[in-house]
Amino acid sequence: MRIAIIGTGYVGLTTGVCLAYVGHEVQCLDTDTAKIAALKSGRTPIYEPFLEELLADAAPRIRFTTSYEEAIPGADVVFIAVGTPPSPGGGPDLQYLRLASQSIGAHLDHEFTVVVNKSTVPIGSGNWVDSLIREAYETAKGKRPAGCFSVASNPEFLREGSGLHDSLYPDRVVVGSDDPKSLDTLYALYRPMLDQSFTAPTYLPRPEALAAVPLIATDLASAELIKYAANAFLALKISYINEISQLAERVGADIAQVAKGIGLDARIGMRFLHAGIGWGGSCFGKDTAALVSTAAEYSLDMPIVKAAREVNRRQRDVVVEKLLSALRILKGRTIGLLGLAFKPNTDDLREAPAIEIAKKLIERGCKVRVHDPVAMERFRREYPGIDVILCDSPEKVAENADAVVLVTEWPQYSDLDWEAIAKTMRTPILLDGRNVLDAARLRGIGFRYIGMGTVEPAAHLDVLVKA
């Protein structure tokens, strides 16, 4: 099939490369000429593991352009995957969606094209996109579209950092449209993923248990709501375990054991029960806010989703409170932060906990040193106003620091020579914001290890007092 993808951000590019890899002819369009030039030469503008490899493997079937005239005519499916960033008023800024829809309408030229909303858009946007395309088509062609297109929703469930894996091996594919012909087209498009009939790349092996992927075909509004309901549920699952982690600390319980104990109940499930600093990234914050505000338009309150947001906000304060309680005075202290990206395997800094935590510490008079394996350059570009010291290694972050906080659980941070690091710190205090480090080993080395919802053994505190 011939596919056009508008927008080469995380979602658009990942979708385009995966669809080309499984055999479709794909044109990726972006209005950013620098991005397109980079992609044409095989370089990807975002950090996503194996994206460049998959792009090289898909190269015969993928092209990049800045021209709607080149991408749209003849396309069987057009994906809209443009950004919908938060606007100053809180709701999503839909200007790019409007522009993309109008440009698609002005260039449609095929027997039948399905226009798919892949961006996370407010519920009801499908109808709006339909009317924008219709108007632009009529203006450009001087006639009605007469059944030559239809709008569908195909929400994206990929996680940054494992976007290619999630696209090639999804748990399910959701397609929503009020037009059965669109659903048929999308079924044919996703057939290689649904049947898992493509040859898996060696660097992205197929999960052993995966045989076939279910397709959920719904009406337009249901597909749009599925996206928000899924993200809000994941966000509240994390907030729930974080809330329980607060109580765990107070009663002397260990949150990892509690999470395992509840997660092995198949009705609850183990995933997204990892307690820590809380969720960041561009999706959970934006989507939970949008859900609350959409509900408000219908005079509906959403206390559960609101509470998940509040608990998440509180987790950032917990980090500062823990440092305060360990150090007594924060003013004049040097704090090292390991990790800037909102999660490992990405350079995305949107709503990254590290940024909020750094700001809070600076406000309290701390000197903040930071390191990230891939997001430093981006941080330098996008946050020049935040007065932190960028260090080129995790060891430098710890040098003469009063405490180090592990903010992003990059795997390489677990393998550091912590023994050597402890010797270079002013006080060996380690706050493991993601509960991923080996607490017993670190305590053995002499660290005061502080977790999020974990028990601090009294015996260890005695040793510290004696020292």
Count of residues interacting with ligand UGA (CB under 6 A) = 21
Q: Which of 121, 145, 113, 142 lies closest to 3 in space, CA to CA?
A: 113
Q: How far is the CB of 272 from ligand UGA (least distance, A)?
A: 4
Question: What CA–CA distance (Å, rounded) separates 140 from 190?
Answer: 31
Q: Which stretch binds ligand UGA (CB under 6 A): 143-151, 196-204, 270-278, 366-374?
A: 270-278
Stretch that binds ligand UGA, among 122-130, 174-182, 280-288, 375-383 (CB under 6 A): 280-288
CA–CA separation, 393 and 343 (whole Å): 18
Q: Please state, in angstroms and rounded to a whole number, the distance separating the CA atoms of residues 224 and 86.
A: 18
Does 428 interact with ligand UGA (rule: CB under 6 A)?
A: no
The binder of ligand UGA chosen from 238, 338, 355, 452 (CB under 6 A) = 238
CA distance 198 to 190: 11
Residue 360 makes contact with ligand UGA by CB under 6 A: no
Task: State how far the Cα of 421 lies from the Cα of 400, in Å rounded to an integer.
Answer: 10
Tell me the window of 41-49, 158-166, 209-217, 356-364 that interacts with ligand UGA (CB under 6 A).
158-166
* Number of other residues whose CB lies within 10 A of the CB of residue 230: 15
451 binds ligand UGA (CB under 6 A): no
The interface mask with ligand UGA, positions 295-334, x = CB under 6 A, is ----------------------------------------
In the complex, the smallest distance separating the C-beta of residue 467 from ligand UGA, rounded to whole angstroms, is 33
Q: Report the residue number, 319 or 421, with the smaller CB distance to ligand UGA.
A: 319
Residues whose CB falls within 8 Å of the CB of residue 402, separated by 6 or more in sequence, listed in order: 327, 333, 334, 335, 425, 426, 427, 429
159 binding ligand UGA? (CB under 6 A): yes
463: how many CB neighbours lie within 10 A of its CB?
A: 12
Q: How far apart are CA 162 and CA 164, in angstroms?
A: 6
Least distance from C-beta 42 to ligand UGA, angstroms?
24
80 forms part of the interface with ligand UGA (CB under 6 A):
no
Helix (H) or strand (E) holding 429: strand 429-432
Between 68 and 342, name the residue whose CB sits nearer to ligand UGA.
Answer: 342
Question: Closest distance between ligand UGA and the C-beta of residue 316, in Å?
Answer: 12
C-beta of 60: minimal distance to ligand UGA in Å? 28
Stretch that binds ligand UGA, among 31-39, 60-68, 156-164, 202-210 (CB under 6 A): 156-164
DSSP type of residue 389: E
Contact with ligand UGA (CB under 6 A) among 50, 112, 128, 157: 157
Tell me if residue 86 falls in helix, strand or coil: strand
Q: Is 148 a catalytic residue?
A: no
Q: Which two tokens stand for residue 296?
A: 């408000």
Query: Does residue 12 touch ligand UGA according to CB under 6 A?
Result: no
Catalytic residue among 18, 28, 148, 283: 283
Closest CA to 241 of 219, 263, 213, 221: 263
Q: Residues 191-198: contacts with CB within 8 Å, 24+ apart?
A: 192/22, 192/23, 193/18, 193/22, 193/167, 193/168, 193/169, 196/169, 198/21, 198/22, 198/23, 198/168
Give min distance, CB of 376 to ligand UGA, in A.
18
Nearer to ligand UGA, 171 or 208 (CB): 171
Tell me the C-alpha to C-alpha distance, in Å, between residue 181 and each of 75, 77, 148, 217: 15, 12, 11, 12
112 sits near ligand UGA (criterion: CB under 6 A): no
Concatenated DSSP letters of 23-60: T-EEEEE-S-HHHHHHHHTT--SS--TTHHHHHHHHGG
Among 61, 118, 165, 343, binds ligand UGA (CB under 6 A): 343
Residue 272 lies near ligand UGA (rule: CB under 6 A) = yes
Look up tokens 């090292």; give the residue.
Answer: 336
Backbone φ, ψ for residue 367 (5° rounding)? -95, 130
Nearer residue to ligand UGA within complex by CB, 24 or 286 = 286
Does position 418 interact with ligand UGA (CB under 6 A)? The reply is no
By the 10 Å C-beta count (0-12 exposed, 13-18 middle, 19+ buried), 326 is classed as middle
Least Å from the CB of residue 315 to ligand UGA = 8
- To the nearest whole angstrom, how small is the minimum distance from the Cβ of residue 294 to ligand UGA? 16
Contact between 342 and ligand UGA (CB under 6 A)?
yes
Is 158 among the residues that bind ligand UGA (CB under 6 A)? yes
Binds ligand UGA by CB under 6 A, chosen from 14, 84, 117, 120? 120
In 3D, which of 154, 151, 153 has the Cα closest to residue 129? 151
Among 30, 57, 76, 156, binds ligand UGA (CB under 6 A): 156
Q: CA-to-CA distance for 250 and 252, rounded, in angstroms? A: 6
Active site residues per annotation: 283
Binding site for ligand UGA (CB under 6 A): 120, 156-160, 231, 234, 238, 272-274, 276, 278-281, 283-284, 342-343
